[in-house]
């Protein structure tokens, strides 16, 4: 994955073709969970129902 990830890479789910993970870092309340949930939902809808699991960290 490129050193700087763009919204295009995320929105097209190109990182999945590259077998890369997405790690969202930032301050509290900046939308990390919302962004990663949206990416997971989009991936499920476009790929025909792959498994999706959201787990909170301990």
Block mean pLDDT (10 aa), the chain, length 58: 73 85 88 89 74 67
Q: Does the predicted TM-score (pTM) go above 0.75? A: no
Structural domain harbouring 21: 7-47
40 occurs within a structural domain: yes
54 occurs within a structural domain: no
- Residue 27's pLDDT is 93
52 occurs within a structural domain: no
36 occurs within a structural domain: yes
- Residue 52's pLDDT is 58
- Residue 28's pLDDT is 94
1 occurs within a structural domain: no
Domain count for the chain:
1
Q: Is there a contact between 38 and 21 (Cβ–Cβ < 8 Å)?
A: no
- Residue 24's pLDDT is 86
- Residue 29's pLDDT is 94
Give the other-Cβ count within 10 Å of 18's Cβ: 10
57 occurs within a structural domain: no
2 occurs within a structural domain: no
55 occurs within a structural domain: no
């Amino acid at each position: 994955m490129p050193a700087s990830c763009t919204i295009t890479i995320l929105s097209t789910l190109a990182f999945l073709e590259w077998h890369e993970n997405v790690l969202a870092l930032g301050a509290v309340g900046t939308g990390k969970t919302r962004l990663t949930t949206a990416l997971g939902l989009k991936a499920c809808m476009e790929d025909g129902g792959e498994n999706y699991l959201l787990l909170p960290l301990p």
